[in-house]
Structure 1
Amino acid sequence: MFAIATLMTLISQVSSTPYVPGGDSPAGTDCSGLASWVANAATGRPVYGSRFHTGNEEAALLARGFHYGTAPNSLVIGWNGGHTAVTLPDGTAVSSGEGGGVRIGGGGAYQPQFTHHMYLPMPADDMADPLAPPAPDAPTPDAPVFVDAMVDAPPPPADQLPPPAGDIVPADAQIAPPAGDLAPEPA
Structure 2
Amino acid sequence: AGDEFGRTQKGNNNAYCQDNEISWVDWENKDEELLEFTSKLIHFRLDHPVFCRNKWFQHKAIKGKGITDIEWFLPEGITMSDEHWGETLAKSLGIFLSGDELMSRTDRGEKITDDTFYIMINSNDTPVVFTLPEKNWGKQWRKIVDTSDGYIDPDGSEVIFMASENIEVKDRSVMLLMHEPEIKS
Q: Which has the larger Rg?
A: 1
Same fold (TM over 0.5): no
Shorter-chain-normalised TM-score: which range?
Answer: under 0.3
Q: Which has a greater percent of strand? A: 2
* Normalised TM-score (structure 2): 0.26
More helix by share: 1
